[in-house]
Structure 1
Amino acid sequence: MTDMTSGPALRQILGFAVPLTVASLFQQVYLLVDGIVVGRYVGVAGLAAVGAAGPLFYLLNAMFIGLGTAFTIRLAHLRGAGADGQRRDVVVALAAVTVCWTVGCMLLVTVLAEPVLALMGITGALAEQCAHFIGVLSLGFPGIFGSAAVSAYLRGLGNSRAAMWVQAAGNLLNIGLALLLVGGLGFGIAGAAAATALASTVAMVVGVLASGRIYPLPRGRPDPRAVQGELVDATRLGFPLATQHIILAAGIMVLVWIIEGYGEAVMAAFTIVSRVEALTAIPFLSLSGAMVTFAAQNLGAGQTARARAALLHTLGLTVGLTALASVVVLLAHRPIAALFTSDETTRRITAQYLMIIFPFLALYTVMVVLHGYLNGARRTTAPLLCTVLAFGMVQLPFAYLLSGVFGVRAVMWAVVASWTTGLAYSLFCLRHVLRPPRAPARAPRTPALEVPSSP
């Protein structure tokens, strides 16, 4: 297990973030390849169906990631406090949550997929394709949530490199299966869903075996009361994180409802930009994840000044990397749009969308790094409130009310308004941490006693 309470802070954060970045790059490369394969072999309708089904899957997956992050924070705190003996109880609690969540989600998808799609305004042939895609994908929920749980466990122990290899193996297999099932065998979007289900199951099995070999659990039987306590603590800590993702997923569904009225070309462009944005955000989400573990370990060890200094250095790095990423996307916005589709309307809308939001990317990247520190400090409610304010109270009303006047451009500019609001609120939450510490008050000097001169 990696100790992050001593040594060069920024080097440790980068050492933790780089494997997470590599793992996420594999995942996003798969998503990009999947989007290209579906767009080329199935067409704009297939790409729109995958994009429309995305928010429903995101709702289920991201909520579990929120709960998994709670266990990551708990394990990191135990590591910083030197209490590894309690790890067994945390692992049992994490396994119980994973099994219950998997079974519940499989039942929910079976019953609620079509009604939820109808609420989003997805009907007809598009709704049938979406429901079919989600139905096939649900067969892989044990692997999808199981591999996410393994990743949360390894990150909590400070070993992002092992988490990287587990995810990379699954994503590489995912790419190969997508090319085979969709491009080679012609199974359509069902083939894309089956590829994800199969690859995730393999990743889960590899991850469980590897983590058990690297980190054998302490001997003895779990303490039922301790496991129950870990479940309560994880629920309390993870509920704001999961709720944050619920709001995001519900909001994305509303955006899909707004965008769907503009036709398949706009929906396809929305799908493309979502994937480009997700790819670009990977290094910064990885820095945020590293900050969670770093802050949790150091604050658990009582090293507040070290955690603050590391946050400031990470923010400086974030701004520099964001400027580079923004320039690359802005210069290549037309080739990026052309990579996914040959439809001229979709290309034009995609390029326009990228040109509007990417000059302001730093608003988002700085915000997510600040959220990593807040989560590591166990202040998980603050990012939730930020999401409610920025996404629920700014972006959605902005997009809905102004789309009637400015059209789909209002949806694009609503993203910038949301990022601006979210960053301002996040800076407010951490104003005491970001503000330079006050110098200790100097004791007043006592005037020297005058010694009378000799007569």
Structure 2
Amino acid sequence: MTDMTTGPPVRQIVGFAVPLTVASLFQQVYLLVDSIVVGRYVGIDGLAAVGASGPLFYLLNAMFIGLGTAFTIRLAHLRGARQDRERRDVVVALATVTVCWALGCMLLVTVLAGPVLALMGITGDLAEQCAHFIGVLSVGFPGIFGSAAVSAYLRGLGNSRAAMWVQASGNLINIALALFFVGGLGLGIGGAAMATATATTVAMVVGVVAAGRLYPLPRGRPSRRAVTGELSDATRLGFPLATQHIILAAGIMVLVWIIEAYGEVVMAAFTIVSRIEAFTALPFLSLSGAMVTFAAQNLGAGHTERARYGLLRALGLTVGLTVLVSIVVVVAHRPIAALFTDDEATRRVTGQYLLIIFPFLALYTVMVVLHGYLNGARRTTAPLICTIVAFVMVQLPFAYLLNGPLGIQAVMWAVVASWTTGLTYTVFCLRRVLAPRRTPLADTPSRSVEVPSSP
């Protein structure tokens, strides 16, 4: 287990983030390849179906994302406080949540798919394709949530490399199976869903075996009272995170409802941009994930000033990297759009979308790194409020009310307005942490002076 309470903070954060970035890179490469395969072999109607069904799966996945992060934070706090004996109870609680949620989602998808798609305005052949995609994907829910649980467990223990290999193995298998099922066998979007279900199941098995060998559980039988306490704590800590993702999922459905009125070309462009945005955001999301564990371990150990120093250095790295990514995407927006489709209209809308949002990408990347610190500090309510203010109160009304005079550009500029609002609120929450200290900084990259303080 990696101890992030000692050693150079920046090296610890970057060292933790790099494997997460590689794992996310494999995942996003799979998503990009999947989009390209579907776009080339099925067409823009297939891309539209995958994009329209995405928010529904995100809605089902939202609660588990929050709970998984809560267990990661809990494990990191235990690691920082040197309380390994309680890890056994946390593992039992995590396994219980994973099994119950996977089985529940398999049941719910048969009930929710039709009504939710109808609320989004998805009807006819597109609705049938969406329902088919999510129905086939639901078979793999145990593997999808199980592999995510293993990754959350390994990250909480500070081993992002093992988490990387678990995710990477599933993504590589996913790419191969997507090419085989969709391109080779011609199974359409159902084949893409089948590839994901199969690959994540394999990744879950590999992850469970690896985690058991790397980190044998402390001896003894788990206490029912202790497990119940861990479930309660994870629910309390994870509920704001889960609610945040649920709000995002519901909001994305509203955006799909707005975009769907413009036809399949714009819906396909929306799907492509979401893939590109997710791909370019992955190093910053990894830095945010690293910041969760770094802040949780150090604040759990009482090293408040060290946690602050690591955050400030991570923000500097974030800004520099964001500028580079933004320049590349803006300059190469035409060939990037051409990777996904031969349809000229879809390329044009995709390029326009990229030119509007990517010059402002730093607003988003800085915000997500700050959210990582807040989550690691167990202040999970602050990112939830940020989502409500920026996404619900700004982005959605902006996209809807200005839809008439600005057309589809209203949806694009609404993203920029949301990022600006979200970053402003987040900085307000952390103004004391980000403000310069009057006394000289005790930490240096090569030496750590620990200042005990409560989180």
- TM-score between both structures, scaled by the size of structure 1: 0.96
Q: In structure 1, what is the Cα distance between the partners aligned to 2:354 and 2:187?
A: 31
CA deviations on 1:52-105 (whole Å, 9 max, x unpaired) are 000011112233111100000000000000000000000000000001100111
Q: In structure 2, what is the Cα distance between the partners aligned to 1:250 and 1:336?
A: 29
Q: In structure 2, what is the Cα distance between the partners aligned to 1:55 and 1:16?
A: 29
Q: Is residue 39 of structure 2 the alignment partner of residue 39 of structure 1?
A: yes
Partner of 2:285: 285
Partner of 1:314: 314
Q: In structure 2, what is the Cα distance between the partners aligned to 1:439 and 1:41?
A: 62
Q: In structure 2, what is the Cα distance between the partners aligned to 1:439 and 1:343?
A: 60
Q: In structure 2, what is the Cα distance between the partners aligned to 1:108 and 1:419?
A: 33
In the alignment, residue 284 of structure 2 is paired with which amino acid?
F
Partner of 1:377: 377
- Write out aligned runs for 1:271-420 (5 A): 271-420=271-420
In the alignment, residue 79 of structure 2 is paired with which amino acid?
R
Partner of 2:451: none
Partner of 1:98: 98
Partner of 1:224: 224
CA deviations on 1:139-183 (whole Å, 9 max, x unpaired) are 000000000000000000000000000000000000000000000
C-alpha deviation, 1:437, in angstroms: 2.3
CA deviations on 1:341-363 (whole Å, 9 max, x unpaired) are 01111000000000000000000
C-alpha deviation, 1:109, in angstroms: 0.2
Partner of 1:247: 247
Q: Please list every run of at least 4 consecutive aligned residues from structure 1 whose deviation after the TM superposition is greater than 3 angstroms.
A: none
Q: Is the 8 A contact 2:326 2:359 kept in 1?
A: yes
Partner of 1:156: 156
Q: In structure 2, what is the Cα distance between the partners aligned to 1:161 and 1:202?
A: 18
Q: In structure 2, what is the Cα distance between the partners aligned to 1:264 and 1:63?
A: 30
Q: In structure 2, what is the Cα distance between the partners aligned to 1:60 and 1:325?
A: 31
Equivalent pairs counted in the alignment come to 440
C-alpha deviation, 1:405, in angstroms: 1.0
In the alignment, residue 376 of structure 1 is paired with which amino acid?
G
C-alpha deviation, 1:285, in angstroms: 0.1
In the alignment, residue 187 of structure 1 is paired with which amino acid?
L
Q: Is the 8 A contact 2:181 2:192 kept in 1?
A: yes
Q: In structure 2, what is the Cα distance between the partners aligned to 1:341 and 1:67?
A: 37
- Write out aligned runs for 1:178-217 (5 A): 178-217=178-217
RMSD of aligned C-alpha atoms? 0.7
C-alpha deviation, 1:403, in angstroms: 0.6
Partner of 1:450: none
In the alignment, residue 316 of structure 2 is paired with which amino acid?
G
CA deviations on 1:416-447 (whole Å, 9 max, x unpaired) are 0000000000000000101122349xxxxxxx
Partner of 1:449: none
Partner of 1:19: 19
In the alignment, residue 126 of structure 1 is paired with which amino acid?
L
Aligned with 2:402: secondary structure? helix
In the alignment, residue 411 of structure 1 is paired with which amino acid?
V
In the alignment, residue 429 of structure 2 is paired with which amino acid?
C
Q: In structure 1, what is the Cα distance between the partners aligned to 2:439 and 2:14?
A: 30
- Write out aligned runs for 1:63-102 (5 A): 63-102=63-102
Q: In structure 2, what is the Cα distance between the partners aligned to 1:397 and 1:104?
A: 33
CA deviations on 1:253-292 (whole Å, 9 max, x unpaired) are 0000000000000000000000000000000000000000
Partner of 1:177: 177
Q: In structure 2, what is the Cα distance between the partners aligned to 1:420 and 1:241?
A: 21
Q: In structure 1, what is the Cα distance between the partners aligned to 2:221 and 2:436?
A: 48
Q: In structure 2, what is the Cα distance between the partners aligned to 1:439 and 1:136?
A: 59
Aligned with 1:340: secondary structure? coil
Q: In structure 1, what is the Cα distance between the partners aligned to 2:62 and 2:368?
A: 15
Q: In structure 2, what is the Cα distance between the partners aligned to 1:439 and 1:350?
A: 49
Q: Is residue 28 of structure 2 the alignment partner of residue 28 of structure 1?
A: yes
In the alignment, residue 44 of structure 1 is paired with which amino acid?
I
In the alignment, residue 118 of structure 1 is paired with which amino acid?
A
Partner of 2:147: 147
- TM-score between both structures, scaled by the size of structure 2: 0.96
Partner of 2:238: 238
Q: In structure 2, what is the Cα distance between the partners aligned to 1:187 and 1:166?
A: 27
Q: Is the 8 A contact 2:62 2:243 kept in 1?
A: no
CA deviations on 1:5-38 (whole Å, 9 max, x unpaired) are 0100000000000000000000000000000000
Aligned with 2:313: secondary structure? helix
C-alpha deviation, 1:298, in angstroms: 0.2
Partner of 1:447: none
Q: In structure 1, what is the Cα distance between the partners aligned to 2:256 and 2:81?
A: 45
Q: Indicate the percent of aligned positions where both proteins have the same amino acid.
A: 84
Say which one has the larger Rg. 1
In the alignment, residue 270 of structure 1 is paired with which amino acid?
F
- Write out aligned runs for 1:423-442 (5 A): 423-439=423-439
Partner of 1:62: 62
Q: In structure 1, what is the Cα distance between the partners aligned to 2:112 and 2:236?
A: 27
Q: What are the ranges of 5 or more consecutive residues in structure 1 without an aligned counterpart?
A: 441-455
C-alpha deviation, 1:122, in angstroms: 0.1
Aligned with 1:310: secondary structure? helix
Q: In structure 1, what is the Cα distance between the partners aligned to 2:309 and 2:418?
A: 28
Q: In structure 1, what is the Cα distance between the partners aligned to 2:6 and 2:28?
A: 33
Q: In structure 2, what is the Cα distance between the partners aligned to 1:436 and 1:235?
A: 35
In the alignment, residue 211 of structure 1 is paired with which amino acid?
A
In the alignment, residue 97 of structure 1 is paired with which amino acid?
V
In the alignment, residue 417 of structure 1 is paired with which amino acid?
A
Q: Is the 8 A contact 2:34 2:175 kept in 1?
A: yes
Q: In structure 2, what is the Cα distance between the partners aligned to 1:104 and 1:363?
A: 37
Aligned with 2:339: secondary structure? helix
Q: Is the 8 A contact 2:53 2:130 kept in 1?
A: yes
Q: In structure 1, what is the Cα distance between the partners aligned to 2:34 and 2:24?
A: 15
CA deviations on 1:305-343 (whole Å, 9 max, x unpaired) are 000000000000000000000011011100011110011
CA deviations on 1:344-400 (whole Å, 9 max, x unpaired) are 110000000000000000000000000000000000000000000000000000000
